[in-house]
Amino acid sequence: MLRAAPRIHVVDDDTEIRLLLGAWLASAGYAVEGFGCGQTYLDYGGPPPSLVCLDLNMPEPDGLAVLRTLRARGVPCRIVVFTADDAVNTAVECMKLGAFDFVVKPIHRAGFLRVVEAALRPEVTTVNPDRTPAEAPLFIGESSVMDAVRTEIGKVSDTDITVFIHGESGTGKELVARSIHASSGRCDGPFIALNCGAIPESLQESVLFGHEKGAFTGATHARKGKFQLADGGTLLLDEVAELSPAAQVRLLRVLQERTVEPVGAAQPVPINVRVLSATHRDLEQMVASHEFRQDLYYRLMIYPIEVPALRFHADDIRALFEHFVGHHASAMGCAPPEILDDVWPALKQHPWPGNVRELANVAHRSVVAHRGATLSAATLGLRSAPTLPPPPAPVAGEGTTMADAERRALVEAVDACSGNLTAAARRLGIGRATLYRKLTRHGLSRDA
């Protein structure tokens, strides 16, 4: 039995673009109808299409107003919006309102048709009714701030929206990502978490996108990248701020075109992956300092979720600590220590710079040291957070450029840390990969 071609509506006041897109879609086998303005389309009384391609920059009502009206009416179709480079933030707002994706002008035929193809795929994001809560990652704590995080997870889980997870180190950003995946229609597909900061810059593109045999020295066999391995599931790009400029460019292309091109490959490979990203860094500040691409920032920051530091939900410390003690005692096959009452105020007063991860480590150490015995505040062994002196502030005098000041700060930080680049990066408040890039840019060896 022949199936009817998907019907697509193109809404754009630019006649040339409307006709060009219509021709591309028709040549790809779609049934197309064009509309020259937003009001004409809102007055349309025919059956809804499978997809609406909607220009944002039109006379009133503009694309954003049309989108809001269509969603308010409950029109059952997916929507792809077009935008210019200087209005990407508006396109991001459209995606929060329910648009499937956005395409930045000038529009290229191949990339546009791939977005259309992806938008017309059967819905795959319905929550799996057979999935039991026990299979999802466990969130401990009843504080209002953690309830807010659970609410945000519930909002995004049954969609394919790109989520950016921000929070200090040790707050549980990967747990949030796993919870989103476990509650989604992709729960039976793979979940892959990649720490971008742990990959040498020279290997980032190969690890992310794969490579063909012989693509570079040492590539003795073809290798699938993380995007291909996560096909049909979810990929978490942890510490995404540490990606090199070259990897950022390729990641942006993958997110736009929904294909990957392994290093050395002749043809791109289609992928169906939900991308989540996370970092403890301030991406907005990195965009302002030109360390992170603005267009990639908008692609990743469609739906941000903030994971609170432990000091903001200290009332959850007791439940978390008891959970970790019980878990580690069970894993070791021993009785947990008896916890005296003076432990709880001591735990609550600790600043927890390492957040939940630090609390879990303290619980693990307590079980090892006091299995079956008594644990008190005195024997808890809380350690003071190590403090590093701030990096010396370079003084820019006459004839001193910002580049000179940055170079001096790099050299002094590396010297102060006896060549330990991890400590130097921490001292400077930047990631290790960022430190490597800056050293290379200033012509400094990594032994500087």
Q: Which domains, and CATH codes, for the chain?
A: 7-119 (3.40.50.2300), 143-306 (3.40.50.300), 311-375 (1.10.8.60), 390-448 (1.10.10)
pLDDT of residue 212: 82
Q: Which two tokens stand for residue 446?
A: 């990594």
| pLDDT tens-digit readout, 396-409 | 444 456 667 777 88
At residue 12, does pLDDT exceed 90?
Answer: yes
Confidence band of 269 (pLDDT split at 50, 70, 90): confident
Of 387, 391, 447, which Cα lies nearest the Cα of 418? 447
Confidence band of 242 (pLDDT split at 50, 70, 90): very high
β-pair partners for 263: 211
Residue type, 293: R
The burial of 157, by beta-carbon neighbours within 10 Å (0-12 exposed, 13-18 middle, 19 or more buried), is given as buried
Cis peptide before 61 (omega within 30 of 0): yes
Global confidence as pTM: 0.68
The answer to whether 45 and 73 have CB atoms below 8 angstroms apart is no
Tell me what the mean pLDDT of segment 121-150 comes to: 61
Indicate the range of 16-20, 82-86, 125-129, 442-446 predicted with least confidence: 125-129
DSSP strand pairing (259-260 vs 269-270): antiparallel
pLDDT of residue 123: 45
Question: Which strands, in side-by-side order, build the sheet including 191-195?
Answer: 191-195, 234-238, 274-279, 163-166, 303-306
Tell me what the mean pLDDT of segment 249-275 comes to: 88
pLDDT of residue 47: 86
What's the mean pLDDT when you consider all of the chain? Answer: 83
Dihedral of the CA atoms 411, 416, 421, 424 (nearest 10)? Answer: -90
At residue 367, does pLDDT exceed 50?
Answer: yes
Report the SS3 class of residue 339.
strand
Confidence band of 218 (pLDDT split at 50, 70, 90): low
Q: DSSP secondary-structure letter at 265?
A: -
Give the whole-angstrom CA distance, residue 68 versus residue 170.
Answer: 38
161 to each of 76, 157, 257, how far by Cα in Å?
A: 17, 9, 15
Indicate the range of 201-215, 232-246, 336-350, 409-423 predicted with least confidence: 409-423
58 or 125: which leads in pLDDT: 58
Looking at the chain, the whole-number percentage of residues with pLDDT higher than 90 is: 39
Confidence band of 87 (pLDDT split at 50, 70, 90): low
| pLDDT tens-digit readout, 168-183 | 999 999 999 999 999 8
